[in-house]
Chains A and B, each alone.
Chain A
């Protein structure tokens, strides 16, 4: 049996003195798979991701990462080395004075030396086409730059799984396109929260919809074949004269 990088089964969660936000969520993420997570405001999408990385403790259910069940803080600390969460508001994530320091923060926490962490951070910035930003002061970056740098900050830790909370929110078309292309080029398995069908279509192989605390029965997103090739049937086929049908 293959182990999934991430398995969530029957997860439930309630905020203190609040209704149950999640009521038995089950979702598994295969290696290299990109899942879109949709749902209305307050449906618990962010809560679900925060439960997965152990920032919130579920009232029931199980989270299994790379075949290991996670229950206690040390378990989740180990999980966070391999599962990176990109927050919705980049200002929450970029707290260091300069870009380079912020991107190197994660690698340093993983035990790398200052030089290693800095070169790791530089490489990551280079790969995302952000070279030249490293000495910029974080609060002087534009909204799009902040988003990309916060992605770089998580990628510098070389996680196997990426969880992205609304990576396209508040960006203009150009920046959105850039984020989308970068995400498509990454090998990591990922869960992407997004309201925008335009952004998620073609990026995610399937879309899980969260409603009333549960994941609705899935239907594969059109446009991209899933790794197992099941949803390719619905992809539009070109006509003989080269135009789309």
Chain B
């Protein structure tokens, strides 16, 4: 799923790292300190998700969950996935250190795109069916998008990578189906249990208790 070090050419590595840095900067821009634990927690869920193996035919695939992270975090997916992919590279040697930027860019851009394409539908109360559909779409799009981007990154590195790139893309198709069903059910589960996690605009401040109506809080009497 992730590119290893040593494959990509220097210009492609540099260019995708620059793109990833721009995404991270956008993700960290105006990230309130109160949201840091939430972003770190989503990164941890992503990391643990990659340890969940699902049987696919005779083989098995691990969950990717970048679409799911995207739905909840929007642009903050960039820093979250950077943290998780770095820890994966260090502990499990999935993916490289130098091409971390490329992997982040390939994984996080479809996540953010999914947030804008499908996440906006979940900002107001919707039924379970709609939730499932949008979740499934985001999950499938997340995996499909990162497969396409990985194939493009490989092709950009040299024409000789055409065959491996096609193989990478083909390998993403069963994973896409798995991811669509899992992400769809996960989103419909969240909609049933804690819809406010999705309703709250993830790019802004999460609803805090003090934002709620509490008439006595700002009475002039209090200021005197």
Judge A-B direct contact (beta carbons within 8 Å). yes
Q: Shortest CB–CB separation between residue B194 and chain A, in angstroms?
A: 12
Q: Shortest CB–CB separation between residue B214 and chain A, in angstroms?
A: 4
Contact of B212 among A54, A55, A57, A72 (CB under 8 A): A57
State the majority secondary structure of interface residues on B. Answer: helix
Cβ B218 vs Cβ A55 within 8 A = no
Residue tally, chain B, CB below 8 Å to A = 10
Q: Shortest CB–CB separation between residue B192 and chain A, in angstroms?
A: 15
Cβ A57 vs Cβ B37 within 8 A = no
Contact of A56 with B216 at beta-carbon distance under 8 Å, contacts A71-B222, A72-B222 already known: no
- In the complex formed, the residue of A with least CB distance to B221 is A71
Cβ B216 vs Cβ A71 within 8 A = yes
Asked whether B160 is an interface residue with its Cβ less than 8 Å from the other chain, the reply is: no
Cβ B210 vs Cβ A57 within 8 A = yes
Interface membership of chain A positions 51-67, coded 1 if the CB is closer than 8 angstroms to chain B and 0 otherwise: 00011111100000000
- A54: B residues at CB distance < 8 A: 210
Q: How far is the CA of A73 from the CA of B222 in the complex (A)?
A: 12
- A73: B residues at CB distance < 8 A: 210
Cβ A55 vs Cβ B214 within 8 A = no
Contact of B218 among A16, A56, A72, A95 (CB under 8 A): A72
Cβ B214 vs Cβ A59 within 8 A = yes
Asked whether B209 is an interface residue with its Cβ less than 8 Å from the other chain, the reply is: yes
Contact of A57 among B214, B219, B222 (CB under 8 A): B214
In chain B, positions 179-223 with a C-beta closer than 8 Å to chain A are 209-210, 212, 214, 216-219, 222
A-B residue pairs in contact (CB < 8 Å), sample of 19: A16-B212, A54-B210, A55-B209, A56-B209, A57-B209, A57-B210, A57-B212, A57-B214, A57-B217, A58-B214, A59-B214, A71-B216, A71-B217, A71-B219, A71-B222, A72-B217, A72-B218, A72-B222, A73-B210
